[in-house]
Amino acid sequence: MAADSGNRDGAQTATDYDLVIVGGGMVGASLAIALAGRGLRLAMIEAHPPGADSQPSYDDRGIALAYGTQRIFEALQLWPAIAAVAEPIAEIHVSDRGHFGVTRLRAVDEGVPALGQVVTARELGHVLIERVLADDAIDVLAPARVVDFADDGDRVRVEIERNGVVDEIGCFLLAAADGGNSAIREQLDVPVTRWEYGQSAVVTNVTPTQPHANVAYERFTDTGPVALLPMTERRCAVVWTVRDDDVDDVLALDDDAFLAAFQRRFGHRLGRFRRVGRRSAYPLSLLRARESVRGRIAIIGNAAHTLHPIAGQGFNLGIRDVAALAEVVWDAFAAGDDIGAGDVLDRYERWRRTEQRNVALATDGLARLFSNPLAPLRVARNLGLLAMECLPAAKHPLARGAMGMLGRQPKLARGVPLD
Ligand SMILES: Cc1cc2nc3c(=O)[nH]c(=O)nc-3n(C[C@H](O)[C@H](O)[C@H](O)COP(=O)(O)OP(=O)(O)OC[C@H]3O[C@@H](n4cnc5c(N)ncnc54)[C@H](O)[C@@H]3O)c2cc1C
């Protein structure tokens, strides 16, 4: 915990920081790591005890990290620890179950070692939180909750409650990485676009009789998309989209009945599914904040955009928020400027606005198109997949998008340090 310290004008205030990050999920922790050790006074506030098994951000869901995300973690020198628990994706196979359309994206065609890597949120969380805790430059205030905050123009005052005691800290910039139900976004009354899909993702892992050969499958079925991602130990991560009405029934199935039901849904491309892990379900919605900056507050990660997991883009988009925000903040700090000033945060918002909108729209479009059983749409999407397969030039932008490599790349995403 920081002792009394001076602000950038030299005035002394109690427990003052340059940057306070609310939320120690994947996005908040990554931002703390990106800016640590550069002279900024940093605090990360997290409601759960660090490393606790109960931390919902770091559960057993499989997360596909795009190649662009791998590059950011390489620049942050976290990649060796993540690679040790990750499985590469050499190919993405997209098909419409029971129909003719299929297209394949291959790492070799894109000249990259892998299109992405799959890791569980829990394992990624261990790597991130271990690094955060080992870094003296980051004050971890946890378990602690932000109960109130006020932006008075010059600073943001943040009230936090720890062990029943309320303290106040101050900062020049507050980053709200407090997830899809962000209380900070809500207190600011930031308008959002929100859509409930009426679907939930049932998540688990299965072990097929045939090796996955590092292929990730996206299969579109009449009740919604199914993703099967290659994991370590010959397992595959399952993201099975089911209608909300059916979730309880699916979760109530015993192992054998679940495997049989999932086999019917996915087919036999990988032989028979033998073992299955613990199941959990996530209600699916789209949420996009129409502003990601308000005064001295930046809203990042799921707090700014929560996506359908069909294309595995949620965290990948969030870490690019982190890379861009870290860059504008560091540029301002290194120049001796106020890191929470309007022009600094405007730069961030302008930079991220188009990509956030495009990825949210593309993901939403995919989720709707591929959940729709209407015959004309089914024919159209199969023709689309087929055309893509026959026109390699058309696949390239799709693959670059899936790898998170479209648009202006922040330094960290290019493997370049912040300075
Ligand atoms: C089934 C499923 C599969 C997915 N698959 C992929 C994938 O393959 N690839 C991909 O890129 N993304 C994927 N995602 C999306 C990804 O999981 C999220 O985008 C990512 O976890 C968001 O991280 P975050 O840090 O923004 O938010 P969160 O993980 O929600 O973290 C927010 C943190 O803030 C803390 N907090 C909240 N309020 C307060 C407060 N007042 N005070 C203190 N702390 C607070 C919470 O405790 C929490 O730790 C998937 C999501 C789901 C549901």
Per the listing, tokens 């030299």 go with 10
Task: Assess contact for 308 and 364: CB atoms under 8 A.
Answer: yes
Per the listing, tokens 């004309």 go with 376
Tokens of 92: 């993405």
Q: What is the pLDDT of residues 166-225, one digit of tens each?
A: 999 999 999 999 999 999 999 999 999 998 989 999 999 999 999 999 999 988 877 778
Pick the residue whose CA is nearest to atom 27 on ligand 1: 179
Nearest atom (ligand 1) to Cα of 142? 43
Pick the residue whose CA is nearest to atom 50 on ligand 1: 309
Name the more confident of 287 and 4: 287
What is the reported pLDDT for 301? 97
Residue 123 lies in a domain: yes
Residue 281 lies in a domain: no
Residue 296 lies in a domain: yes
63 close to ligand 1 (CB < 6 Angstrom): yes
Tell me: pLDDT of 399 over 80: no
Helix (H) or strand (E) holding 205, with range, is strand 192-208
19 close to ligand 1 (CB < 6 Angstrom): no
Per cent of the chain over pLDDT 90 is 70
Strands 192-208 and 236-243: antiparallel
Domain count, the chain: 1
Tell me: pLDDT of 64 over 50: yes
217 close to ligand 1 (CB < 6 Angstrom): no
66 close to ligand 1 (CB < 6 Angstrom): no
25 close to ligand 1 (CB < 6 Angstrom): yes
Nearest atom (ligand 1) to Cα of 26? 25
Q: What is the pLDDT of residues 106-164, one digit of tens each?
A: 999 888 899 999 999 999 999 999 999 999 999 999 999 999 999 999 999 999 999 99
The CATH number covering residue 161 comes to 3.50.50.60
Tell me: pLDDT of 340 over 90: yes
What is the reported pLDDT for 398? 72
What is the reported pLDDT for 225? 85
401 close to ligand 1 (CB < 6 Angstrom): no
Query: How many whole angstroms from 25 Cα to the centroid of ligand 1?
Result: 6
Pick the residue whose CA is nearest to atom 1 on ligand 1: 201
What is the reported pLDDT for 296? 98
Tokens of 178: 């407090």
Q: Which domain holds residue 328?
A: 5-61+70-86+116-194+286-369
57 close to ligand 1 (CB < 6 Angstrom): yes
Upper half-sphere CA count for residue 383 (Cβ side, 13 Å): 6
List of residues 6+ apart from 47 with CB closer than 8 A: 142, 143, 144, 145
The reported pTM is 0.92
Mean pLDDT of the chain: 89
How far apart are the C-alpha atoms of 396 and 380, rounded to whole Å? 21
SS (H, E, C) 37-71: CCCCCEEEECCCCCCCCCCHHHCCCEEEEEHHHHH
Query: How many whole angstroms from 27 Cα to the centroid of ligand 1?
Result: 7
240 close to ligand 1 (CB < 6 Angstrom): no
The 10 Å Cβ neighbour count of residue 303 is 31
In the structure, what pLDDT confidence band is assigned to residue 379 with cuts at 50, 70 and 90? low
In the structure, what pLDDT confidence band is assigned to residue 372 with cuts at 50, 70 and 90? low
68 close to ligand 1 (CB < 6 Angstrom): no
Q: What share of the chain is helix, strand, coil (3-state, %, to 5)?
A: 35, 30, 30
Residue 304 lies in a domain: yes
Q: Which of 344, 337, 297 is nearest to 156 (CA)?
A: 297
Name the more confident of 119 and 383: 119
Per the listing, tokens 């499958």 go with 217
Name the more confident of 276 and 101: 276
How far apart are the C-alpha atoms of 202 and 224, rounded to whole Å? 12
Name the more confident of 131 and 391: 131
305 close to ligand 1 (CB < 6 Angstrom): no
For residue 406, give Cα distances in angstroms to 103, 173, 290, 356, 413.
20, 28, 22, 12, 11
Mutate which of 44, 61, 186, 307 for ligand 1? The one with the most ligand atoms within 8 Å of its CB, which is 61
Query: How many whole angstroms from 156 Cα to the centroid of ligand 1?
Result: 24
Residue by residue, DSSP assigns 111-141 as TSS-SEEEEEHHHHHHHHHHHHHH-TTEEEE
Residue 271 lies in a domain: no
Nearest atom (ligand 1) to Cα of 229? 8
In the structure, what pLDDT confidence band is assigned to residue 3 with cuts at 50, 70 and 90? very low
Q: What is the pLDDT of residues 247-273, one digit of tens each?
A: 999 999 999 999 999 999 998 999 999
Helix (H) or strand (E) holding 240, with range, is strand 236-243
What is the reported pLDDT for 401? 74
What is the reported pLDDT for 9? 42
Residue 41 lies in a domain: yes
Nearest atom (ligand 1) to Cα of 177? 26
Residue 15 lies in a domain: yes
Q: Which of 139, 116, 124 is nearest to 67 (CA)?
A: 116
Tell me: pLDDT of 10 over 50: no
What is the reported pLDDT for 383? 58
Nearest atom (ligand 1) to Cα of 160? 42
Strands 273-276 and 215-221: unpaired
Residue 295 lies in a domain: yes
How far apart are the C-alpha atoms of 261 and 85, rounded to whole Å? 29
What is the reported pLDDT for 149? 97
Pick the residue whose CA is nearest to atom 30 on ligand 1: 179
What is the reported pLDDT for 376? 58
Query: How many whole angstroms from 315 Cα to the centroid of ligand 1?
Result: 8
